[in-house]
Chains A and B, each alone.
Chain A
Amino acid sequence: MTGYALEVRDLRVTLSGKRILDGVSFRCPEATVTAVMGPSGTGKSTMLRAINRLLDLNPEAIVEGDILIHGRSVWEMEPYEVRRRATMVFQDPNPFPHMSIYDNVAVGPRLHGLARSKRELDEIVRWALERAMLWDEVKDRLGDPPSKLSGGQRQRLSLARALAVKPEILLLDEPTANVDPVNAVKIEEAIRSLVREEGITVVFVTHMPSQAVRVSDYLVFLYDGHVVEQGPSREVALNPSNPLTEKFFRGEL
């Protein structure tokens, strides 16, 4: 064991012949939040998709380097095992439109046989919705379709769905980008308590430096496919060693 929940080593990604990530390395200690920040188009989403092997689905993608989950290389695992251990929440809320709120959350546990009875399944669903800070708003209408929820609620539903498979790592791709400030605060709160109380390790992608500093223990500043700077959030925020980082914090990138 290395003591790290996630290690990314010299990750290089090429999409359709274009080099998107060029040697990205960082490590996430267990039960911490690592914010990956960077301007639009630097490859943040691509990096997350490489980590949980979603890029396998893209025949135009070439991924090199190593990614370790609790010391084990993702290349030694089945892709679906990787994705279950490191689930992802996407930039846009994407609950399954044809499933009820309940079924959206239950679909993962059902796939993986996490519940042996209806009661256990109910408990997992409730736990996930509570963890996503959505339970109180939907507990009386679990049979409703997600279309009856607001955008922010839909995003929290996506979070609950990802949590319900009991992942070790949560990959969040700008989870508050398309959500109003109230919902954004709720999501940030939910993330922090998940880390504190459930020991989940989070990679939080954002293009907003203020949010990155607010939510994270460690910062990784990604620029143009490279890691420009990384370290404990406070240190990087108070004392950026690279002028690019400074510019990014000032909102000039």
Chain B
Amino acid sequence: MNGGPLSRLLRRVRGVRSRDDERFLLLHLPASLTLLLVILAMLGVFIAYSIPVISREGFHVFTDTTWRAVEGDPQAEWYGLLPAIYGSVYTSLIAVLIAAPLSVSLAVALEELTPRRLRGSLSLLTDLMAATPTIIYGLWGLAFLAPHMYPILSWLSSHASWIPLFSKHPSSGYTIATAGVLLAVMSTPFAAAVIREAYSMIPLSIREAAYSLGATRLEVIRILLGMVKPSIVAGLALAFARAVGETVAVSLVIGNSMTITPSVTDSGVTVSSLIASQFGNAGFYHYMTSALFAGGLVIFAIGLAVNVAAVWYMKKWEEKVMGVAP
């Protein structure tokens, strides 16, 4: 049976060779389609709920910095999401910058330096770190990290205030930097798991090739890390997505002020933390719920963009390395 349009379509999908492949795909098609529909439906809801604020403010809802909530007077309300969007991207970038060396070192340490006996329990520990509810991280950040970061940030802002990063003297430990560090701690286990998985799959023959050129252990690690570059990118994209989407933990440590500042020693806000802190009373206002949904839409778009970029990079890499014609 070569004729059906569906089977012709399936054949065009890369890698479908046999009837077994076809059956496998057919079996999974309903599930995949359902998932796709659910995501599209979610997106539809977000778009529908965003329409009121967008039709009133236009694109300004994404580019404006004012956040004015007035009860009983819809005409006076005005919502600008830019500080929150800025904060989301900024804290997540900080998180990824910190998580990058941390997760790579963690992955390498587990694979290269940990004796086989300890590997199991240590990797269990990192899995546990990944599975820990984020509110636990939030409370830890609130009670421990923020107070301990405060003196460090104060010192930086008094001794290095000429660097824009530390220009603002912090009034407390609840800052963009604290949120970034906390997000880094939270997302490192995820990125590390992805990197480690890829690293452990490197064939022994490649490892031996590197050693037999007279490379030291460190040099071998560097060569092998080059081989898992796409997985490092994927892991960090995952970390970024997780950081952008994180809600409770961030809102507990970021200070929640609607400002745009380069200074990491200042407090800030993210879209997620804004939604978490404002959604409860958004019902008192005419447009706020809609504005928060518009914020959700933005995070959705950012997350999607980062993932698409990561997938694109990996595809390029594969083409380059595997020699597949583009």
Contact = CB atoms under 8 A, between A and B. Distances in A.
A94 B203 CA distance: 9
B229 interface: yes
Contact of A96 (B214, B219, B227, B320): B227
A97 B214 contact: no
Nearest to A167: B214
Contact of B226 (A80, A92, A98, A145): A98
Contacts of A80: 211, 214-216
Nearest to A90: B205
B206 A94 contact: yes
A92 B223 contact: no
B109 interface: no
Interface in A147-185: 147-148, 158, 161-162, 165
Nearest to B226: A98
A47 interface: no
Say whether chain A's binding surface is mostly helix, strand, loop, or mixed.
Answer: helix
Interface residues of B, number: 22
A98 B212 contact: no
A147 B323 CA distance: 6
B33 interface: no
Contact of B205 (A82, A94, A108): A94
B321 interface: yes
Given A98-B229, A148-B323, A83 B211 contact: yes
A148 B321 CA distance: 9
A15 interface: no
Nearest to B317: A98
Contacts of B213: 83-84, 87, 107-108, 111, 161-162, 165
A107 B216 CA distance: 13
Contacts of B214: 80-85, 87, 108, 111-112, 165
A145 B323 contact: yes
A101 to B, nearest CB: 11
B227 A54 contact: no
Contacts, number: 77
A57 interface: yes
A143 to B, nearest CB: 10
Say whether chain B's binding surface is mostly helix, strand, loop, or mixed.
Answer: helix
A145 B322 contact: yes
Nearest to A109: B213
Nearest to A59: B116
A99 B225 CA distance: 12
Nearest to A148: B323
Contacts of B321: 97-98, 145, 147
A161 B323 CA distance: 20
> Considering residues B212, B213, B322, which has the most beta carbons from chain A within 10 angstroms of its beta carbon?
B212
A39 B203 CA distance: 25
B219 A98 contact: no
Contacts of B226: 96, 98-99
B208 interface: yes
A80 B210 CA distance: 10
Given A94-B209, A96-B223, 5 more contacts: A83-B213, A84-B213, A99-B226, A111-B215, A144-B323
Please give me the 5 A-B residue pairs with the lowest Cβ-Cβ distance, nearest first: A84-B214, A147-B323, A88-B212, A94-B205, A148-B323
22 contacts: A54-B211, A80-B211, A80-B215, A80-B216, A83-B211, A90-B205, A90-B208, A92-B205, A94-B205, A94-B209, A96-B206, A96-B209, A99-B226, A107-B223, A111-B214, A145-B320, A145-B321, A147-B321, A147-B322, A158-B209, A165-B213, A165-B214
